[in-house]
Structure formats: structure tokens, C-alpha cells
Amino acid sequence: MTELKSQFISAEFSPPGAFLVTGGTRGIGRAISVEFARAGAYVIANYLRNEKAASELQAQAEAEKFQLDFCRADLTTADGLQKVATAVGQLGRPFLGLVHCAAIGAHKPVAELTARHFEWTMALNVRSFFELVKLLLPNLVVGSSIVALSSPGASRAIPNYAVVGASKGALESLARYLAIELAPRGIRTNVLAPGAVATDAWKVIPGGEIKLGEAAKRSPLGRLITPEEVARAALFLCSPAATGINGHTLIVDGGASIASWC
């Protein structure tokens, strides 16, 4: 862990560098906010509606005495995007990267999906990522990182997941283009694709609990991946240990995607 921490707390960055984590107060996003803050980074956790989750994370930050702030903003609006960009611009410390976890989507068969479902999903999952990167580019320093959170649905057909999977596929494609175009600026871009992780997101998926149980049984590890395991992978991608990794998708699924019975 010492090597991973060095990016955030070395003398080169005084005060410690900062990260923005969108969707950073719940589920995997929360685990990433906590992991980065524990490693010495100053974290801005973005969220929109769930004040309870933000309050609980704030209490944890105060109890553990790590540096974490919040920015409540709707990333699908120009005002919300500008609010986040302003918060980053006022940091007064090096801005080391963006981890885009914010996501939403309609879990329905294609025949039941509407144009509104499509636009709503793409607005947060893809367009907000695109616009945030453009807004934050002037703040990113040499050696900084961008990580986009994807899912198996980007490359595999999952029931009732068409529009979400399509958005994740678009997100991964955009990240590859960013990786090539931003590399000359000293900025790396990668994708993190977790397997099945037990978060609140599964509560809106038809038969979510059953599917989680089935995924755990199929996994070569015999269990689900935890949010903390995904968070450690995100920390690795943004650390000096990963300076040679750019434009790739890191799969964190315990081997499920390569097992023939999965």
C-alpha cells in the first residue's frame, strides 16, 4: 500500500492531490471515495439525491479523520456540471483525476424501452463523462488519471440491460479515444469493469437478488466481488504502479468472465 499512497502524499504534492468521484457516496463509488481518502488523497464525492448516504459517509470521514468533501450536483445539467467544475477549480491543490461511477438506467426488455429511457441513461452514463472530462482538462496535472466504471453488459448481452449495456459500451469506446488523445498531456484513461457486486443498484433489476445468488455460485471464487476489491483496483489504476497502463479495461470479477460455465 505504501507505493500506492505515494502518488497522493509525496512531497511532490503539497497539499495532497485531489480526486473527483462521481456517484461517490453509495455502493462502489463510496468504496472508491473511502479507499482513495484512506490512501491520502483529498476526495470530492459527487452525489445527487441521497442525503442519508452522504451524511453517513461524512460521519465516517470525521471518525477516521480522512480528507473528503461533497458536491451535490446533477451531472446531466449544465448547471450541475459547472458546479462540479467550479468545486475542482477552487481546490487549491493538484487535481489528480476523475473516477466516473455515476450511472443510471432502465432495466426493461427492448420492446418496452422508450426514447426517453435511452436519453436518460445516456445523459448520465456517457454524456456527463464526456462533458466532465472536457471541463476538467485544464485542471488535470501531468501524471493524472481518468477511470470510467463499466460493466459486463458493455460486451455481453444481459436480459433487461440493453440500454444500460449500450451506454457502457459507448463509455468504454470513448475512454479508449481519450486514452490516445490525452496521453501526450501526461493523462492516462482506463476502464474498470467489475463483475457482480452486491449494491443497491441490484434492487431495481428484476430478480436482482436471485441473479446475485446465481452469480456467486458460478464464480470461480465461490462468492461475489466486494466493493472494496473494486476500489483497490481503481486505486491501482490511478497509482504510480500503473503508469504504463493506458486505454485498457481492467476486469474485476474473480475470473467469472473466462470460466466456461459462467
Let me know the angle formed at the C-alpha of 228 by 227 and 234, rounded to the nearest 5 degrees.
90
From the list 42, 47, 108, 168, the catalytic residue is 168
Lookup: cell for 222: 465461490
- Which residue type, as a one-letter code, is found at position 177? Y
Question: Comparing C-alpha atoms, which of 57, 43, 55, 151 is closest to residue 98?
Answer: 43
Edge-to-edge order in the sheet of strand 188-194: 68-72, 42-47, 18-22, 95-100, 140-149, 188-194, 249-252
Distance CA 59, CA 236 (A): 26
CA dihedral 106, 193, 246, 93 (to 10 degrees): 80
42 is catalytic: no
47 is catalytic: no
From the list 5, 134, 161, 217, the catalytic residue is 161
Catalytic (active-site) positions: 161, 168
